[in-house]
Structure 1
Amino acid sequence: MITKIIDRKEFVATLASEGFAEGIVVDREPNGFLDDHVHSFEAKALILSGELRMRVADEERLYQPGSIFHLLANQPHAEFYGPEGVQYLVGRKEEKN
């Protein structure tokens, strides 16, 4: 799901208010990709630079600076990084048992 564009300060406050761990910055290489995979944690990220295409089920979306993506824990997805790579700030929330 693409969320409205916000700035970094507002995003960090949103992470904290929603119970996500403090965000970390992730850099991915130009034209790289990760085939279908899952994470054991919920993730919410703000694109800082570059671009990311993400495929979830049969839907693919493009994320650019200022946009946010949100993945549930164990949600299968694939990631494709733009020609300049991508940098994003991501907060993680461990799945509760």
Structure 2
Amino acid sequence: MNALTLEAFTAQSLDEGFDEIIVREWDAHLKLDTHTHPFDVSAHVVRGEYWLTLGEQIQHLKAGDNFRLARDVPHAELYGPEGATVWVARAN
């Protein structure tokens, strides 16, 4: 199995029209209450786990998972006991 590299994630994201790539390190047990972002997101979880809440839906994301989130969509985040590392592509 070939693991996704940051270089491959970056190249794919730029090809898809995202214009900013960042690596986010989130602390263990961090809770972010409902908020929005002024950009579209495509992300890949590299380490750890967290729960992404969109309305009544809760998505449990773990290392190896990908997700997308449109700009201005209200959501909340809760990070697990190890925190998480997430590669994030933004379309500003």
Helix, strand or coil for the counterpart of 1:15?
A: helix
Q: Which moved more, 1:80-89 or 1:19-28?
A: 19-28
In percent, how many aligned pairs have the same letter?
Answer: 34
- Among 61, 69, 72, the residue aligned to 1:71: 69
Q: Which has the higher strand share?
A: 2
Task: List runs of 5+ in structure 2 lacking aligned partners.
Answer: none
Q: How many residues align?
A: 89
- Among 7, 29, 33, the residue aligned to 2:4: 7
What is the deviation of 1:14?
A: 2.0
Using the size of structure 2 for normalisation, the TM-score is 0.89
Equivalent pair of 2:20/2:91 in contact (CA under 8 Å) = no
Runs of 4+ in 1 over 3 A off after TM superposition: none
- Among 86, 90, 95, the residue aligned to 2:88: 90
Using the size of structure 1 for normalisation, the TM-score is 0.85
Matched ranges for 1:1-97 at <5 A: 7-8=4-5, 9-94=7-92
RMSD: 1.3
